[in-house]
Structure 1
Amino acid sequence: MKTFITPRMLPALLVAVLPSLAQADPLPSWNAGHNKSAIVDFVEAVSDPTSDDFVPQQQRIAVFDNDGTLWGEQPAYFQLMYALDRASEAEPEQLTSELHQAAAEGDIETVLEAGEEGIQALLSLSHQDVSLDEFEEDVSDWLSNATHPDTGRFYADMIYQPMLELLSYLRDSGFSTYIVSGGGLHFIRTFAEDVYGVPPQNVIGSTGGLEVKDLDSDPSLYKQEGDTWINDGPLKIVSIERHIGQRPIMAVGNSDGDVPMLIWTTQGDGPRMGVLVHHTDAEREVAYDRDSHIGRLADGLDQAEDRGWQLIDMASDWQRVYPQAP
């Protein structure tokens, strides 16, 4: 005998179903504790129209750093690992400096010790005189084939499962999620939607020179040398204002380069949240903070408590680090 649900039965059904839905854990890879509770309480409060802390949906904006926040960043930023692979294919006439030579030889320590100059030398061998279409296709191919030197995992598999859950939870709660990274804009846009569910227009990153070629026949954009916008530190605030046009209510990062973004976000009016991921898990990932040449976290550690930020202890707050892995 078939059972049909009539409109009169719906209230009773909702009473039976809603409690179980409310009990569903939106962050299943997070261990119970203060940080998880604080995040859930914040999201519930700002998205509940009956709450005193309710925030209209158009103002529910969350910004995330990428390297070290959404995926790994050791022993070097993954985009630099890509650049090293491509720099190894450089022609001899392109190696016009010691830094070029070091980059072509895969000497990442020499490149990083030279700071921004070393990174620019590396990128000049790997990110120039190529169309955006070719660049994005090449990055996609690299991500599909290259593996991390320490874990042996594909780079796109080294995303943080707890952060994927947080991104999804926020979007389900009416948030718009953005990536605001010091990494290359076009590099991140290649995979952000497939990996994080963040569309290209919601990615804000560092940029270099661009040139339009073949305008009359087949217009194409080419990556070139030129003015470089390093989207880090206070410049993240400038980029958010230019791109989004309003202050986020939530900011998530992992390094001192993210601290200005967290300060600016949490100093605004109304309910606000700042989150810092602290890499404490030497067993499942890498433990680092104050003395690291990548993702240094010192100012953030010193300010987190006084500013009321959630300092995520990766070792104790996360049940697992990567998808399908401990």
Structure 2
Amino acid sequence: MSNKEQNQVTIKDLARKLDLSITTISRALNGYSDVGAKTRERVQKTAREMGYTPNRNAQRLVTQRSHSIGWIKEDGAQYFVDPHFVEVFAGVLREVKHYDYDVVFASGSHKEIPQLFNRYVKDQSVDGFILELPRPNDDRITYLLEAGQPFVVHGSEQRADQYAWVDIDNFGIFETFVRLMLGAGHKKIAFINGDEHYTFALERRLGAEHGLEMMGENRDALTVFNAVHPMVHAGYQLTKKALEDPHVTAILYSSAVMAVEGQAAIASSGREIGKNLEVGTMDDELRHVDLTSLEGQISFARSPLNESGHALVRQLMKQIQKKGPPEGELIPARFSLRPNLPRNLVPAHFVVEDT
């Protein structure tokens, strides 16, 4: 036996130290609600101080859990370099360590995805799943609902009352943006949106159109241009196309990445932001996208994608640990507006930051 094995702290050591039963120690370490919160906290604190490391194989036998979360992603050409995905994934990785969990990541072609889910469910190698980029009537959601598996979705579709999800108010944000632009006197708005095969982009377009209706404007006051997911490398071309219409005096972007890319097209068009062009964008607070040059020049709706990653894990672990039914969580958004936009048109559930 190695020195490491001889010196390894066990549950028995913790039980002797705290004068508690081995069963109580085990259930406290695994987060069971039948152990009081103060006892759980005391056990977990002592375990950290003594350097206790759980034996995963033994833990799985006791808890019937793998202590792993599954994330199965379609392996499109640019999906893994999409800064939006990277930001969410970073939040997930930071949060799972608080539960002593790992993330099992897998990818495959669109046709291979159902078989991958089926394999992980049948061999019970993960305790639950994270899904992203849902489509209307998403087949993955249908499968996991029927299989009775814990899962959480980044986004939602029409069955959102049946599963856990984390999202932002896509509809409300772009409804508000359109109302703000119309309220400031703009008669023709270009909306450079994401891929409407996915519900987040579809909801944003529907929200923008509803904003027109609320302000009594016709649909032709809004022209929508769609990027193909992921929303990278589309900003320049779609902005250039939008500005071919001389009546366009306001542009909305579904992503700050596209807003940054669109600056060159705006400059080459002879337009000047703040004088004959107003710009607003969704800002997911991507740490690798520098918006310094646009601060004070354009308006933002801000909500951190990183926080969505943390929330996805929290919602999934609540199901895995049987601490409550699946539910949705809306990540708040806040507006940072240029002074000429009418703040009174922003609904009360959004925060408006001072600029």
Q: In terms of Rg, which structure is larger? A: 2
Choose between structure 1 and 2 for higher RCO, CA contacts under 8 A separated by at least 6 residues: 1
TM-score, structure 2 length as denominator? Answer: 0.34
Compute the TM-score of the two structures, normalised by the length of structure 1. 0.36
